Amino acid sequence: MQSVIELHEFIQKAEKIFGAEEREKIVFFLSSNPRAGKKLENFGGIRKLEWKDDPEHRIYFHPGASNLPLVIISIFRKHKKFVLDKIIKILIHNKIR
């Protein structure tokens, strides 16, 4: 299993959409399967995952590496526009803090 960092944006949305227990299942699944989902081309390895209980939302994360933790970034609706722009803003905001 891989270490996981959950960004605040993900925690808030996951608990609202799925609840705390399901959020923990998502974190466990990703820590055990860091290459799950689909890799976004030309976006530094960020991946998106459609969680089995909610096909309307996508979970965005970076799988990390052998010496880096997996980072769960956020959740967006399936057809949300400008998702990549929003991901960049979230990552910049978390870096500044």
CATH of residue 13's domain is 3.30.2310.20
Q: Which domain holds residue 14?
A: 4-96
Cβ neighbours around 21 below 10 Å, total: 8
Q: Give the pLDDT confidence score for residue 95 in this predicted structure.
A: 63
Tell me the mean pLDDT per 10 residues along the chain, length 97.
90 93 95 94 88 84 88 82 70 63
Provide the number of structural domains found in the chain.
Answer: 1
Q: Give the pLDDT confidence score for residue 86 in this predicted structure.
A: 75
Q: Give the pLDDT confidence score for residue 72 in this predicted structure.
A: 94
Q: Give the Cα separation of 92 and 96 in Å (integer).
A: 6
Q: Give the pLDDT confidence score for residue 15 in this predicted structure.
A: 94
Q: Give the pLDDT confidence score for residue 80 in this predicted structure.
A: 63
What global pTM score does this model have?
Answer: 0.83
